[in-house]
């Protein structure tokens, strides 16, 4: 697999709960992180004193963050409404030449900023709120 364009890493939101996904407008930078907690089951009987972890245990989570130019598009309005309603809709993240991650996420922060001689920008952060699915591309 060769190098990929960063602009091809897309974050999409279910616009109305029907499975109609649309790319969030204006994003310039996106990031998805996967995390897994380990469960330590090391005991005096552990071979050589090495730590042992319990397979399949612990909590898994994912977080999405992005920043971009405020466009006041329908996806901007949807993200704002999700935040103020404390809703947990499905999102999709398209990772080029890798796959698609989909599932429920909560908007945990939504920041807007701007300077006198610059564009209005925003930052968004999301936290997984249930089981995610992965589909290879």
Tens digit of each residue's pLDDT, the chain (137 residues): 677 778 789 999 999 999 999 999 899 999 999 999 999 999 999 999 999 999 999 999 999 999 999 888 899 899 999 999 999 999 999 999 899 999 999 999 999 999 999 999 999 999 999 999 999 98
DSSP category for residue 53: B
Given this model, what pLDDT does residue 70 score?
85
Give the CATH number of the domain where residue 97 resides.
Answer: 2.30.110.20
* Alpha-carbon span 119 to 131, nearest angstrom: 37
In a domain, 1, yes or no: no
In a domain, 111, yes or no: yes
Given this model, what pLDDT does residue 39 score?
96
3-state secondary structure of 120: coil
Given this model, what pLDDT does residue 113 score?
94
Number of domains in the chain: 1
In a domain, 22, yes or no: yes
Domain of residue 116 covers 6-136
In a domain, 39, yes or no: yes
> What are the residue ranges of helices labelled H in 1-137?
74-85
Can you name the residues that pair with 127 across neighbouring β-strands?
63, 106
Given this model, what pLDDT does residue 1 score?
62
Burial of 7 (C-beta count, 10 Å sphere; 0-12/13-18/19+):
exposed
The token duo for 131 is 């089981």
């Amino acid at each position: 697999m060769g190098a990929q364009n960063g602009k091809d890493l897309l974050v999409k939101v279910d616009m109305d709960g029907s499975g109609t996904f649309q790319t969030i407008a204006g994003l310039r930078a996106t990031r998805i992180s996967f995390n897994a907690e380990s469960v330590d089951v090391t005991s005096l009987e552990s071979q050589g004193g090495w730590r042992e972890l319990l397979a399949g245990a612990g909590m898994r989570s994912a977080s999405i963050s992005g920043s971009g130019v405020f466009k006041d598009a329908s996806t901007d309005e949807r993200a704002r409404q999700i935040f103020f309603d404390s809703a947990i809709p499905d999102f999709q993240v398209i990772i080029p030449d890798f796959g698609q991650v989909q599932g429920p996420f909560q908007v945990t922060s939504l920041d807007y900023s701007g300077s006198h001689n610059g564009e209005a920008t925003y930052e968004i952060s999301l936290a997984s709120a249930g089981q995610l699915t992965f589909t290879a591309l």
